Each structure stands twice: as structure tokens, then as C-alpha cells.
Structure 1
Amino acid sequence: MKKTKYFASRRETPWDSTLRDNVQEFIRNEYLDDYYEKHPALSESNEANLLNAFVPVCCPNCGSLKFTRKGFTSNGIQRYCCKDCGKRFNILTGTLLDNHKISISEWIEFCLNLFRHDSFSSTSANNKNSTTTTAYWTKKLFLLLEDYTEGIVLTGNVYIDETYYNEAASNRTVRNGKELRGISKNKYCIAMGFDGEKVYAFLEGMAKPTRERTRDAFKNHIARGSHLIHDREKSHKVLVEELELSEERYNAREIEKLPDKKNPLAPINRQCFMLKDFLNAHPGFNRKDLQGYLNIFCFMQNPPHDKLKKVEMLLRAIVYSQKTLKYRDAWK
């Protein structure tokens, strides 16, 4: 029988159930004061004022537009009652924050830490919560942003390239006792695009790109008639042909040693570097979630660039998106 892994509460200290001297009492009290400041009771936070400023669009249970106010929850959040189905709900019913136990202020800190490329362990330590909580919230962002890149269309001068990310060590292909080297089936191929303002990233598959995969990755994300700036990857030719693009092509080997100021592909190289830095902050992640991380990365890199405005966008999207993810379903 598989043993359940136990994660100690961030609230615990070594002196919770023992006699304490003055030094231990001081350290414990300071630690717990900081903990409770980061974990206020929902009834003691300003969440009610925030959430009561939102008005439901419809009943989340049946979609009816006929509903009326019906008191408040124990945390002061406005409750509604549907006139058609008779069910009660509040602004968070059926959303990713439905029945949340941790304050929204802590969720905001989680987002800001993620935008800074902090690791799960660092983020959970800063927020004084479990690493599984951080992973769970990340999966919620995957769901919220699952369609984010679909609306990205690059225009004007468009830089494109491919970058590669290693398969997890436990899943790598081995032949004759050795792992495949180079751009092989042990590397994920990620299509990257950048027009000076917007970033687009898409998981093409494994190993080198093909004409078909390149077409599928970019055909709806580069405006017809744009100017393509790229290396001499053969699969890019299909984009020039089908989207009627003008182009600049550079030999990657000839320019790779140039300083960034002189490298004509520096803008897209920079985005590839930032993506690797973001992914490497979470090296043990399940590669099935790779596109989810790419969606988050694009959201991070694209306008608006102020991190607090990004948090605002996410919060508004959560309130008005009928998406939910139960904890037990996140690990299936």
C-alpha cells in the first residue's frame, strides 16, 4: 500500500507542545505573528468588500438571469438565490476560488512570486504554506489560461525560432545503455515567436520541427504579409509561402558568437532564454503540463507589463470564468 506523504504545516514550530524558555517563546511568537499576518481569517480580511463589488452575470447552476439577493455568507460575502432553480450561490460559486480556505491576498502573493520566476519551494516558504498548495494553485492557472495563446497574433517584424527542453530523466529514451544525444526524442521542441510586443510559445512535439508542425504552430498566429526574421530552419519556408511573408534569414552558426547588440536574432534569443529560466525554476514538473507553463510564460511576458495589473486581469477572469478544479481532481 502506497504511503501518503506528510507535509508538516508551516504553522508548526519545535516548541508547540513543550515548555519554552524566553528565547524559544520569543522566536515562536515572532514566527506565528508573521504566519497569521500572511494567513488572515477570511472574515477578518477585506475580501467581502472586494467580492461584493462584483455582480453575477447569471445563475452558475442553471444560467438563469433571474436571481435576487439573499443575505450574506459567514464571511460577509453577498449571497444570491435563483428564481428559476431555487439554488443559492455567491460570486465565487463554480469558479476556481469556490469554497477557498486561504485568503485572496495570499493568492496574490503567489502570483507575484510566480511572475518573479520563484520556485515552488521558495514561493511556499515565502507564503508559509505547503508546496502542494503552490502546485495546486499553479494547476488552477493552467486551467484559467488554457486558451490564452489562441488569441495571440504576431504582426510587423516577427522573429521566430525553436528552443528545446529536456525530457524528464525517468522518461528519456535509451539505446545501447546510453541516452540519445543532440536534438532527439529526448527533447521537446518549442516554437517561439516575438514581434517586439507580444510573445507566443507553443509545444510542437519532440525532436526537430517539420513543415507540418511548424505550419500548425504558427499559421493562425502570424498576420499575413508580416516580415519574418529567422534562422535558416527549412521548416520555416512553409510560413513564407502560405502567409505571403517577406523574410530575413540568418545563418545561426555565423551569428551565435556575436554580442547581443549586433545579433539580428537577439530579440527572440532573449525570449528563449527567459523561457528556459522560468522552466528551470520548476525542474521536476510533469512534462504533461509543459504547454500550461508555456501559456503562463506568454501571459507573464505580454502586456500589460505591470505585475499588479496582471493579477487584476487574473482575478477578474476567475470571477467571471465558470471553471473550477477540485483538489483531488488536480492530481489525476
Structure 2
Amino acid sequence: MDCDSLDLRLFVDGLSDEDLDVLEDAVKARRCREKYGADTVEDLMKKWGRAPRRPRCGREGAWLDGASADGRGRLRCPYCGRRFNALSGTIFANAKLPLHKIMVIVEVMCLNASLRLIELICGVSHPTAFLWRHKIFSTVSSWQDGVVLSGRVWIDEMYFADTRARREPGARRRHGLSRDKVCVVVAIDSWGKALAVASENGKPSTKGINAALEGHIKEGSVLVHGCEKAHNALVRKLRLVDERYKADPSDPVYLEQMRLVNHLCAWIRRYVDRFACMKSDNLQAYLDWFIYLHRVHRDADTWPVEERVVRHLALSDGLYLRKW
């Protein structure tokens, strides 16, 4: 250890707890600036070209009109006269966490970590970790709406226990495809684009399959599936080429032909099972985040995952308010 390192360690050892916290925040802010090009949310917005706009009327263009108690400049809309700031209408509105902590939460969420792990790594409370998880989820809540699968498209269904199901005291848990399970429709095409939609309870119906997939498969595509009757109407409606294989886990042909979608279902199962306390009402939000990250990781060679996700958050209009 050289003299400079020793002097630096002695300097740190001599700091009070309050000064040490300030130093730690300064170091983390610098690391954040070096990695993401910004150490404040406002600078992050500027870096990615997010122009302030009034959430109420959605128009851009405003003039500076004072400042808030936290020092952020207030803007006034020339059209509706409302006052707002550069973060209004984003997930960063009223954010109390510094940017470097928010970025650590994002990085951990890209690894699909549990809330407890977010609390430990980021040094935040459970309510704060929950709030930011759903703030980030809100930015991808409509992302799957624009997904269109084409070419060869594999579809299948998987099931998760419904936490909303009510049972009489002492009643046995139902087995099989009962109404106590939520059906999730899963699809993937030969290009690697994927879709996962929480559809309905119990065995899938024609109506449920159509609602989940009708707007997401290009007409004339080849539909590869496991002989589910509820798929027939979709095949006719979209003029799909019907390629079906009887669902038999002991049949090597079935396993080979359905391998792609079966692997996707297995990954979704592992992902959802990490969140044992998740409510079924939030299942679609978790699926939206999984499918979004599936696309981001697919293109990781051309665009680093974390940088792409941060850009998405900076430009997104997602908004989630704490529910009491």
C-alpha cells in the first residue's frame, strides 16, 4: 500500500457517519455519471432528448416560471396555463431517490431479482422497492400491444394458481385445469419475437384465444400448436396454415416440433416462480416486463441491455402512483 492510499484510508476513517454518507453518495453519483452520462434525472432526460411536456394537454413548449422547494425549475404551459416541471408525466415525477439508486434498482430488475434482493442491494425499504418495481413495470404495460408475429408461429398455454380464488375452510385444492388457475397464452415466432398474455381462468376458450392472439399474428402465417380446439377459430379467421401435433410428452416428434415454445414456457415458469407472493392481479405486469427483457436481451450484441432499458425509461410516458 503506497502513501497516497494510506492517506486516503486515514482520511475516510476520520469522517463522521454523516460525512461518510455524503462521500459515498458522491462516489456513486460519479460512477453513475461515467456509466450513463448523467448523475441527475434531469440530465438523463436531456441526454436522451426528452422534451418537457404538460401531462394534461400533452403539448410541448413552455416557459420557466419559478422553482419548487427541491430546486427544480417550474414550467408553465402557454396553452392550458398549468405549471409543471421537466419530470411531470414520467415515472421520475416526485422521485425522492437519487439517480444512482434508481439505476441500481433498474440493473437489479434486469436480472429479475426479488423485492428482498432489491432492498438489500439498493439499500431501500420494502415499500420503496415495490413502488419502483411497478413504476418501471408501468413503462412496458402497453409494449406487447405492438408485437406482431409472422412466419412460423408456435403457441401454447401454461397455468398459474390464481391467488384470487376463494375456497371454503377445509376444502381441498382443485387439481388439473380448474377455474382456480389462470391461463397464460404464450407465442413465439421464427424471428424470436415473443408474446405472453394472461387470458382467463381454466381451460382456454375460443373467445379467450382470439382476444389474446388475433391482433398479434400476421395473416397467412404457419401456426404450430398442440391440437387445442380453441385454436381452430383463430386459424380460420387469420387464414393461417394449420400445423398441429398431438400433445404427448413421450412423443419425440411433438417434443422437437414444439421445442421453441416449450423452452419459452419453461423460462416464464422459472421467472414467475421467483415471485412467490405475487398477486394474480399483477401477473400481466410481470409478463410484460419478461417479454420486454426477452426482446432487449435478444439484441444485446448490438445494444447493451442496461443502456437500452435506461433510454426506454427516460423516454417513456409510464406512470404509477402509490396505492394506499
| More moved, 221-230 vs 131-140 | 131-140
Q: CA deviation at 1:47?
A: 3.8
Does structure 1 residue 191 correspond to structure 2 residue 189? no
Read off the aligned partner of 1:278 and give its amino acid letter: Y
Q: Which residue of 1 aligns with 2:279?
A: 286
Distance of 2:60 and 2:308 partners within structure 1: 30
Alignment pair present for 1:237 and 2:232: yes
In structure 2, the residue matched to 1:214 is 209
Q: Is residue 166–residue 188 contact of structure 1 (8 Å, CA) maintained in 2?
A: yes
Report how far residue 232 of structure 1 moved.
1.6
Give CA deviations for 1:170-217 in whole Å, capped at 9, x if unaligned.
845469731111111121110000013211111111111112211121
* Cα shift at 1:46: 4.1
Q: Is the 1:72–1:79 Cα contact (8 Å) retained in structure 2? A: yes
Change beyond 3 A, Cα 1:86–1:178: closer
Distance 1:247 1:100, change over 3 A: same
- Structure 1 contact 188–203 (Cα < 8 Å) conserved: yes
Residue deviations 1:236-257 (CA, integer Å, cap 9, x gap): 112221111112211221456x
How far apart are 1:37 and its partner, in Å?
6.4
Partner of 2:129: 134
Q: Distance in 2 between matches of 1:66 and 1:310?
A: 27
Q: Distance in 2 between matches of 1:195 and 1:205?
A: 23
Residue 8 (structure 2) aligns with: none
Are positions 1:179 and 2:146 aligned together? no
Q: 2:149 aligns with which of 147, 150, 154?
A: 154
1:92 corresponds, among 87, 94, 97, to 87
- Distance in structure 2 (CA, Å) of the matches to 1:104 and 1:265: 43
Q: What number of residue pairs does the alignment pair up?
A: 297
SS of equivalent to 2:315: helix
Equivalent position to 2:310, from 309, 312, 325: 312
2:39 to 27, 39, 45: 45
Deviations 1:111-149 (A, max 9, x none): 222221211101221111112212111222333222221
CA–CA distance in 1 between the matches of 2:217 and 2:27? Answer: 44
Equivalent-residue separation in structure 2 for 1:210 and 1:271 (angstroms): 22
Measure the CA separation in 2 of the matches of 1:220 and 1:61: 30
Partner of 1:247: 242
Cα distance change, pair 84–155 in 1 and its aligned pair in 2 (3 A): closer
Assess, with a 3 A threshold, how the Cα gap between structure 1 residues 89 and 298 changes in structure 2: closer, same or farther.
same
Q: Is the 8 A contact 1:153 1:221 kept in 2?
A: yes
- Aligned CA RMSD, in angstroms, stands at 3.5
CA distance in 1, matches of 2:285, 2:50: 30
Pair 1:275-2:268 in alignment: yes
Distance in 1, Cα, partners of 2:287 & 2:45: 30
Give the Cα separation in 2 of the matches to 1:76 and 1:305. 39
Q: Distance in 2 between matches of 1:89 and 1:55?
A: 15
Whether contact under 8 Å (1:211, 1:238) holds in the other structure is: yes
| Structure 1 position 63, deviation (Å) | 4.5
Q: What amino acid is aligned across from residue 280 of structure 2 in structure 1?
A: R
Separation of aligned partners in 2, 1:36 and 1:65: 34
Cα deviations by residue, 1:76-101 (Å, 9 ceiling, x for unpaired): 75543333454443220232211211
Calculate percent identity across the aligned residue pairs: 24
Deviation at 1:32, TM superposition (A): 5.8
